[in-house]
Amino acid sequence: MKSYGHLFLLLVILVPSVHLNGADTALSLSCRGKVLLNDDWFYGDSPYYDANRICEAGKWKEAPRLYEAIRNRNDSLYTQDNVLRFIHDRAPEKMEYDKQMGLLNQAMCSIAQGEKSPHLTSVDLLVSIPEEKQISKHMINSGVLKGKSVLVRTDEISMKDLFYFIGTVHQLQERAGCFIQLLVSPHLKSLLSSFAKAFRFDLLEEGGQSYTRHRGQGYMVHIISLAGHLELRPDQLGRKKIIANVNECIHSFIKRTIACTKHCKNMAIVMVANDAPITLIGGRKLDSSAGTVHSKVWNKLLKDNRDLAVVSYGKPDSIIFDKDHNNRAICLRESQKSFDILIALAYYMSLNQNVIALCDDTDDAAVFVSCLNPKVQKRMAFIVPDKCNPYKEGEGLEYKDPTSKCRIYKYASSDDYIAVIQKAYKNTIMQCLPDNCEQQFGGLEELSDDYMTIE
C-alpha cells in the first residue's frame, strides 16, 4: 500500500489538454500542428478577420450574420474589399479551411446563445475524416447505421470539451442503433471505462492495436460534430449520470486527511485556473485566471468564516494559505496521470451534505462535476470571466449551467472576482441548510448507482 504523507499533500496535476494524432487521410485542411484550437488563424489575417473580432467581443447575435455574409462572398463573388486581398495568394485548400473554421466559430456563437447548430459538423472536415466514412443526420435517422460500427474521435480538443460533448455518444447509440467505439487518449481510458461499460460501447486507445485494426473499417465521426448531426442544444448535451470507479484506498486517505477539519461546520472544495490563457475551439483565447487574487479571497473567507474548511485541488501554488489557517486548509494533487483523488473527492462530497464546491472553469472541474449526481451538483458553482467559454454562457451575471445543475457566477475583473466568490459562497452554502437541501440519497445503496468502489 502506498504511503501518502501528511496534511499538505502535494502530488501531480492533471494534464490540461488532450491532443491526439487522428488524421487518417492525405488531405489536411489545417495549419501544421493546429486544427480546431488554431489561435493563429483566429487572430491572424483571414477572410473572416472582421467576424472573428466580433466573436471575440462576445457579440453572439451579430457575429453569425457576418460569418455568413463573408462566407457567401467567398463562395461566389470574391470581389468584396474585406476578402479580396486574401484571394490572390491563398490556395484552394486554405480557402476551404477558412470556410470550415468560419462555420465552426459561427456554431460556437449559436452554442453561446443556447441554440443548436448543424455547423458543428464542419469539424469532421477539419480533422480530415474521409468522405466515404462520414455520417450524416439522414444516416442517423433512416436506420442506415443500425448495427454498424462508428468510431468516435476525441482528438484536437481539451478535456473540458470532451466532457462537455461526451453525452452525445450515448445519444448517437440510442438514436441510430449503432455500435460505438470511442477513441481516447490512453490516460483517459481508466476514467471512462465504467461509463463505457454502463452504456455498452468500447474504448480504444489512440495508437493502440485495436485502433490500428479499425482504421479501415466502419464509419467515423468527431465527438464535436455529433452535436451538429444530432441537432442538440447545449441543454440537451448533459447526461443523467456517470458511474465512476472510486479507489477505496484513496477514499480512505481522503477521509483521514480531512478528519483534521472535523471541528468545522462546512467545507468548500476549490479548483482554480492556471495563469496561462487557454485556447478554445475555433481559436479564441480566454484568460480565465484571476491570478494572485485566489489566495487573497480564500484567506479572507477562512478568516471571516471560522466554521469553514477549504480543500484546494490543483497546482501547489494556485492558492497559498496563511499559516493561521493550517488546520482548516488542505492542498491535494494527483500523484500521477490519474483521477483517483478527484473522483474520491466527488464521492466524499456526495456522502456529506455540508460540502460545497466553487471552481473556475478548468479541466479538473469538468471531470469533477461529471462525477457528481445531479442533485449534488446543486452544491457546486462555476466562477467564470465575463467573456467566458460559449458552453458556460447565459443571461445575466448569475444563472444555471446549461449542462448541469450547477450555478454560474461571472466576474469582470480581479477586483470583481473577490466579490463574486463571496456571493457564490454565500448562495451555495445555503444549499447545505436543512430547509433547502433535499434528501439527495437514500443511503449507500442508492449512491452505488453513481459510483463503483474498487480495492
CATH code, 163: 3.40.50
Last residue within a domain, chosen from 116, 150, 185: 116
Last residue within a domain, chosen from 67, 92, 116: 116
Residues linked to residue 150 through DSSP beta bridges, in sequence order:
180, 219
Q: Where are the alpha helices (DSSP H) in 184-315?
A: 189-199, 209-214, 223-229, 248-258, 293-304
Residue 45 lies in a domain: yes
Cα→Cα distances 371→85, 98, 167, Å: 50, 37, 13
Last residue within a domain, chosen from 239, 266, 284: 239
- Write down the pLDDT at residue 217: 65
CATH code, domain carrying 354? 3.40.50.2000
Residue 6 lies in a domain: no
Residue 66 lies in a domain: yes
Which grid cell sits at 371?
462525477
Residue 279 lies in a domain: yes
Phi and psi torsions of 410, nearest 5°: -105, 145
Chain centroid offset of residue 145 CA: 28
Contact 344, 409 (CB under 8 A): no
Q: Where are the alpha helices (DSSP H) in 310-413?
A: 340-351, 363-370
Q: Are 357 and 264 contained in the same domain?
A: yes
Q: Are 228 and 250 contained in the same domain?
A: no
| Among 281, 44, 40, residue whose Cα is nearest residue 156 | 281
- Write down the pLDDT at residue 326: 83
Alpha-carbon Rg for the chain in angstroms = 23
- Write down the pLDDT at residue 414: 80
Q: What pTM was computed for the model?
A: 0.84
Residue 10 lies in a domain: no
Q: Are 186 and 273 contained in the same domain?
A: no
Q: Is 253 exposed, middle or buried (0-12, 13-18, 19+ CB in 10 A)?
A: buried
Q: Are 222 and 95 contained in the same domain?
A: no
Contact 328, 309 (CB under 8 A): yes
Q: Are 67 and 205 contained in the same domain?
A: no
Tens digits of pLDDT across the chain (455 residues): 333 333 333 222 222 333 333 333 323 444 434 789 999 999 998 889 999 999 999 999 999 999 998 888 744 434 455 555 555 556 777 889 999 999 999 999 999 999 999 999 999 999 999 999 999 999 999 999 999 999 999 999 998 899 999 989 999 999 999 999 999 998 888 888 888 888 888 999 987 655 545 555 689 999 999 999 999 999 998 765 566 778 888 889 999 999 889 899 999 999 998 767 788 999 999 876 565 688 889 999 999 999 999 999 988 778 889 998 888 999 998 766 678 899 999 999 999 999 999 999 999 999 999 889 888 999 999 999 888 889 899 999 999 999 899 999 999 888 888 899 999 999 999 988 765 544 443 334 344 455 555 54
Q: Are 400 and 295 contained in the same domain?
A: yes
Q: Are 142 and 234 contained in the same domain?
A: yes
Residue 3 lies in a domain: no
* Domain count of the fold of the chain: 3
Q: Are 228 and 266 contained in the same domain?
A: no
Q: Are 199 and 248 contained in the same domain?
A: no
Domain membership of residue 168 as a residue range = 15-25+129-239
Which grid cell sits at 450?
453513481
b/e per residue 206-234 (b: at least 16 CB within 10 A): beeeebeebeeeebbbbbbbbbbbbebbb
- In 3-state terms the chain splits into helix, strand, coil percentages (rounded to 5) of 45, 15, 40
Q: Are 72 and 201 contained in the same domain?
A: no
Residue 9 lies in a domain: no
